[in-house]
Structure 1
Amino acid sequence: MSMDSANAALYFVDRHTGEGRGDKTAFREAAGAKREISYGALAARTAQMAGALARTGIRRDERALMLMLDSVDFPVIFWGAIKAGVNPIPLNTLLSTSVYDEIFHDSRASCLFVSAALYDTVAAALPLNPFIRKVVVVGGPVPEGAPDGTEAFDDFIAGAEAAEAVIADEDEVAFWLYSSGSTGRPKGVKHVHGSLKATSDTYGAQVLGIAEDDLLYSVAKLFFAYGLGNAMTFPMSVGATTILFDGRPTPETVSAILAEQRPTIFCGVPTLYAAILDYWDGRAARPDAPLRACISAGEALPEQIGRKWKAAWGVDILDGVGSTEMLHIFLSNRPGQVVYGTSGTAVPGYELRLVDEAGNEIAAPKAGEEPKVGELLVRGASAADGYWNQRSKTRTTFEGEWTRTGDKYELTPEGRYVYCGRTDDMFKVSGIWVSPFEVEQALVSHPAVLEAAVVAWRDEEGLEKPKAYVVLKGGRTDLDLEALKAHVQKLIGKWKYPRWVDVVPELPKTATGKIQRFKLRQGA
C-alpha cells in the first residue's frame, strides 16, 4: 500500500508502532474492569476491525453508527472503520428513541455498534429501519429479541483477517458527527481525513501544547467534537495516554478520577467547573492531581468561575470556542495570556472576523469607543465538508472558505473576543441589544447562584424584557429575588436586569453542557 495515503488512521494509530510507542498505553478505563489498550494493540485490533467489516459485507463509503459509552472498544471501532473506508458516526448517548429513529433513517447507515447498556433505548427503532443490516452489541451479550444476526462485539471481530488501511485522500469524508441539537433538529456533519490532523496541529500543539508524557482526562465524551479532540485526536497525535470513563461526570465522580488517576490535563465544561467548585466548598477536599492545563468549551466560561478555579488549583482554565462544524476549538485563551470574561484570540491556523447584519466587517473599536456586536465567522482547514442532505443549511452556514458560527461577539480594543450569545438568543430591550450571557454572568456572581439562563420574555404590553431561570447552590430553594435583581442592576445597568426570576432545580441542556434556551423560551 502506498504510504502517500492520507488515511487518518495511519497517522493517529499505526505511526506509533514504527516510532517505538507500540507498548505505550493509549487508553485506560477509570471504572469497571479498568481495561487498557496499548498503541501496538490498537493498531492490530483496528486492522482486525477493518477486516471484520469487510467479512460482514460493509463496504467503503457506507456508514457505521456508534451509540457507545466511552471505553477502549470505542477507538477500536472508530479507527477500524476509518481504516476500512467506512464512515463511523458517533452518536450522543442521551437522546430519545424517536430522535435515534430519525438519525438512523437520515444517515441510512448499514450497521450499528451499540453499548449493551444503551440497547433498550434503540430496540424499538430497529425493526422500523430498512437500512441497518448488522447490529453489534458492545460490552455485553446479545439481548433477547434482537434482530437476526445480531452479534456481540467479541464474536463480530473474532477470527477476522487483518486489513490494511484503504488509500484515502485528505479531502475524502472520514466520519460524521451529528450536531448537538441545542436549537432543534440534529444535522449530520461530514468531516474529512485531513480535519483531524488540522485540529491537533493547531489547538492541540500550539495552544494546549500536549506532549507524549501527558495523561489526559476529558469529561466531554468521545461522541461529540470537543470530546473527540480532547480524548482521542490530541493525545493520539503525540502518543499520550487518555483516561476514559463510561459514567456520568458528576462532581463526586470527577473528583475521584482526578484523585485516583492524577491526570496532567483536564478538559471540562463551565457547568461542571461551577458544580465542582461548589462541591469542594466545605463539602469535600480538593483532590491532589498534577494538573498543568485545564480547558473549557461548550458554553462561555463565567469570569468568576475561572478565577475561583485558578485560586483553588493554581492553574488557569483556557476558555475556548469550537463547534461541530469546525471540529474543535478555533478561538481561545492561551497559557500566560488568559483574560477571564473573554474568549481570547484566534487559534494559530484560523482566521476570524465579525460581520454586522448586512455582512459588513466590524473592526476593533478604538479606545473609548463603544464596541459593536457582530456574528463571528471563522476560516480554517478543519471546516466540515457540509451537512448531509441539508443543502440549504449548508449554503447558509458554509460561505466559501468561511463558516458562520451563529455566535454573537464584541471585539475589545486589544483584539480579544467577548461572547454575547447565540444569534437566536440575542434580543433588544428599548432598541438596544442585550447579551443573555452578560446578564447570566452577573447573576452567577451572586454568592447563592450556581447557574443561570436568560431569555427574552414579553411583558403585558408585548415588549421583550429579560427573564432569568436560576439554579441555587447547595440545593437551596429560597432567595430574595428583589435583592438578586438589584445585584444585577448594580453590575451591568438598570435596563438589563431580569424583570422575572424563576428558581428551578436544573436547566435544560444538551449532553455537551449547552443550555437549551429555546426550551426555556417555549416555557419547557
Structure 2
Amino acid sequence: MPLRDYNAAVDFVDRNVAEGRGDKTAFIDPSRRICYDELSDAAARVGPMLARLGIEQESRIALILQDIVEFPILFWGAIRAGIVPVLLNTRLTADQYRYLLEDSRSKAVFVSTNLLPLIEEAAADLPHLRSIIAVGDEPSSALNLRDILAAENEGGAPASTCADDVAYWQYSSGTTGMPKGVMHVHSSPRFMAQSAGQRRIGYREDDVVFSAAKLFFAYGLGNAMFCSMWVGATSVLYPERPTAESVFHVLQVHQPTLLFAVPTLYAAILADQNSKDERLPERLRLCVSAGEPLPAQVGLNWRSRFGRDIVNGVGSTEMGHLFLTNLPNAVEYGTSGFPVEGYRLKLVDEQGRDIADDAIGELLVNGGSAAAGYWNQRDKSRTTFIGEWTRTGDKYHRRADGVYTYRGRSDDMFKVSGIWVSPFEIEEALMSHAKIAEAAVIPAEDLDGLIKPKAFVVLASREENISVLFDELKEHVKRSIGPWKYPRWIRVVDELPKTSSGKLQRYMLREMVVDQNGSAH
C-alpha cells in the first residue's frame, strides 16, 4: 500500500514518464491524442491555472465533460494540486445540475461547450461558484480552458497530500431519489488498478483499451483511466453516446485489445440489423461487462455470434470499481463469479448475521478502495459503511465452491406463495426466450390482494401474435425456474425506463402501472 505521504497523480502520471513511457500515447479521442509526457506537462499546469482562478487546495471543481483528452488533464491536474474534481454525469437536467453544484459547493465548473447553455442556466446565482470554463473549440462568451491553460508557462509542484486525503468525488447513480456524493481517497485508484486491473483482468502495457462506459461513471473511470494508466497502456475515448455503429467504427479504426461496455449496449449490438455482418478485431482478447447484471442469454448470444465470451463484473460507486467478476478464462453465464483479489465478500441476513453457502443474503464488501463516505449524508454513511465493510444493497447466492450469483436488489425481492422471488431471476428466464429482447419484473397484487410477478417486455420483433406469445412466455418461465414464479401479467413496451448510466428504474414501472390502471395490477 502507498505510504502516508502520497499523491495519486504523481503515481499515475509522473511515474509513467519516469519509467520511460513519456512518448507513449496515453489517450486518443476523435480530434487529438496525448502522450504521457504531454499529459504530465499539461496536468502540472492545471494547478497554477486553478490558483489564478482563486481555487485553493481541498476546494472542489466540477467536471461535466464528454470523454475527451481534456478530461484526464483536468482530473489528474486537480488531484496533483490537492484540489478535488467532482465528476458529473453529462446527461442530466438543469435542475439536477443545480442540485449537484449546490450540494458539492464546487468553486468552478469545467463543461463541454455543447452543454454550456444548460450549465449556465443551472448555475445562475450559485453562491459558491466562481467560474464556468468552457472545454472545446466552439466559440462562447465563457472562459475557455485552451486559453487559460496556455497562459501558464510553468507547471506547479505537486501538493503535499496523504493517502487518506480525499482525491475525487463521484455521485451515486441511485435508481431513486437524488444522488449522493461519494468521496474517494488518493490511495483508492492504485488499489483498484492493482486488484481488478492487473490481477483479474490482466491489463498489459501494450493494451489498447476502449471503454464505451463513460469516465464520469465509476466503471468507466476504472477501465479507461486507473487500470490502463497504472500499466502505461493506451485508452481510446469516445465523446458521444455509443451505438452499435459507433462501437464497430472504433473497433475497426483503433483495433483495441480490451472492450468494456454495459449489458444494454452488448444487447443493442446483437439486435442491430445494420451491424449483423460486423466482426470483432482479431486483436480484441477480452470483452467485459458491468454496470448492471449481464443476462446469461446476452452472453450466450455474443459467444455464438462472435466466438468470444463476455466477462461479467460487479462494482459500485462506493467501492470505486470491480470487486467481483467471472474469471476471464472460465466464464460461467448466469453467475457473477469470484471475489477480485484484495477484496473480501460476505452474505448476511436481515439481522446482519453471516449466512451459510446455498442461501440468499445481502452482499457486503471489504476492500481498500471503499469510499470515505457520503458527503453531508451522515445517516446514510453510517448505514452503508459499517467499519471495514460496505453494504451493497444487493442480494446474492453463494455456492459451496465460492461462486456468487446475483439475485436482485434487497428492496426488489418479494414473496410469492410464501417463497422469496428475485425479479432478476424471472427476467433472465424471460430473456432466454428468443422473442424477448429485454424484460423487467415487479410485484403486483391480484384480485385477492396477493402478490404475484408482473412483467414488462421489449420484443425482439414487433411482428408477434401477442396473445399466443403471452401463453408461450408463461410456460417458458414455469419450465425454466419454477411454476410459482411465472408472471401473471405481461405487458409489451417499446423500452424500459433506465438511469443515464443504464440501470433499470423499477419504481417508474410501478408508477406507470398505477398511473394508467389506477392500481398496481
Smaller-chain TM-score bracket: over 0.9
Residue 403 (structure 1) aligned to one of 374, 390, 394: 390
CA contact (8 A) 1:137 1:152 kept: yes
Residue 437 (structure 2) aligned to one of 440, 450, 454: 450
* 1:362 partner SS: coil
User: Which position in structure 1 is the counterpart of 2:518?
Assistant: none
Q: Aligned equivalents of 1:166 and 1:362: distance in 2? A: 46
Q: Aligned equivalents of 1:431 and 1:46: distance in 2? A: 58
The answer to whether the aligner puts 1:441 opposite 2:436 as a matched pair is no
* 1:57 partner SS: coil
User: Which position in structure 2 is the counterpart of 1:212?
Assistant: 205
The answer to whether the aligner puts 1:177 opposite 2:164 as a matched pair is no
- State the 1:282 CA deviation: 7.7
* 2:347 partner SS: strand
CA contact (8 A) 1:440 1:453 kept: yes
User: Which position in structure 2 is the counterpart of 1:332?
Assistant: 325
Q: Aligned equivalents of 1:354 and 1:169: distance in 2? A: 33
TM-score, with structure 1 as normaliser: 0.94
* Stretch deviating more after TM superposition (483-492 or 373-382): 483-492
Residue 107 (structure 1) aligned to one of 95, 104, 108: 104
- Aligned pairs, number: 508
Q: Aligned equivalents of 1:521 and 1:76: distance in 2? A: 43
User: Which position in structure 1 is the counterpart of 2:149?
Assistant: 157
CA contact (8 A) 1:54 1:84 kept: no
Q: Aligned equivalents of 2:452 and 2:157: distance in 1? A: 60
Q: Aligned equivalents of 2:167 and 2:22: distance in 1? A: 24
Q: What is the RMSD of the two structures over their aligned residues, measured on CA atoms? A: 1.6
CA contact (8 A) 1:341 1:418 kept: yes
CA contact (8 A) 1:280 1:286 kept: no
Output aligned runs, 1:478-497, within 5 Å. 479=466, 480-497=469-486
TM-score, with structure 2 as normaliser: 0.95
The answer to whether the aligner puts 1:79 opposite 2:109 as a matched pair is no
User: Which position in structure 1 is the counterpart of 2:367?
Assistant: 380
* Stretch deviating more after TM superposition (338-347 or 509-518): 509-518
- State the 1:281 CA deviation: 8.8
Query: Structure 2: which 5+ residue stretches go unaligned?
Result: 514-521
* Matched letter for residue 481 of structure 1: F
* Matched letter for residue 500 of structure 1: W
Query: Structure 1: which 5+ residue stretches go unaligned?
Result: 145-149, 365-370
Q: Aligned equivalents of 1:174 and 1:261: distance in 2? A: 31
User: Which position in structure 2 is the counterpart of 1:189?
Assistant: 182
User: Which position in structure 2 is the counterpart of 1:368?
Assistant: none
* Matched letter for residue 447 of structure 1: A
Q: Aligned equivalents of 2:317 and 2:247: distance in 1? A: 24
- State the 1:141 CA deviation: 4.2
* Matched letter for residue 39 of structure 2: L
CA contact (8 A) 2:245 2:275 kept: no
Q: Aligned equivalents of 1:474 and 1:499: distance in 2? A: 22
User: Which position in structure 2 is the counterpart of 1:7?
Assistant: 7
Output aligned runs, 1:62-141, within 5 Å. 62-141=59-138
User: Which position in structure 2 is the counterpart of 1:270?
Assistant: 263
CA contact (8 A) 1:115 1:140 kept: no
Output aligned runs, 1:511-522, within 5 Å. 511-522=500-511
Identity within the alignment, %: 51
The answer to whether the aligner puts 1:415 opposite 2:402 as a matched pair is yes
Q: Aligned equivalents of 1:52 and 1:152: distance in 2? A: 12
**What do residues 219-259 of structure 1 show as CA deviations (whole Å, max 9, x unaligned)?**
10000100000010011001100000011111111122112
User: Which position in structure 2 is the counterpart of 1:302?
Assistant: 295
Q: Aligned equivalents of 2:463 and 2:254: distance in 1? A: 32
CA contact (8 A) 1:88 1:174 kept: yes
Residue 497 (structure 2) aligned to one of 490, 495, 508: 508
- State the 1:478 CA deviation: 5.3
1:238 and 1:282, CA in 2 relative to 1: closer, same or farther beyond 3 A? closer
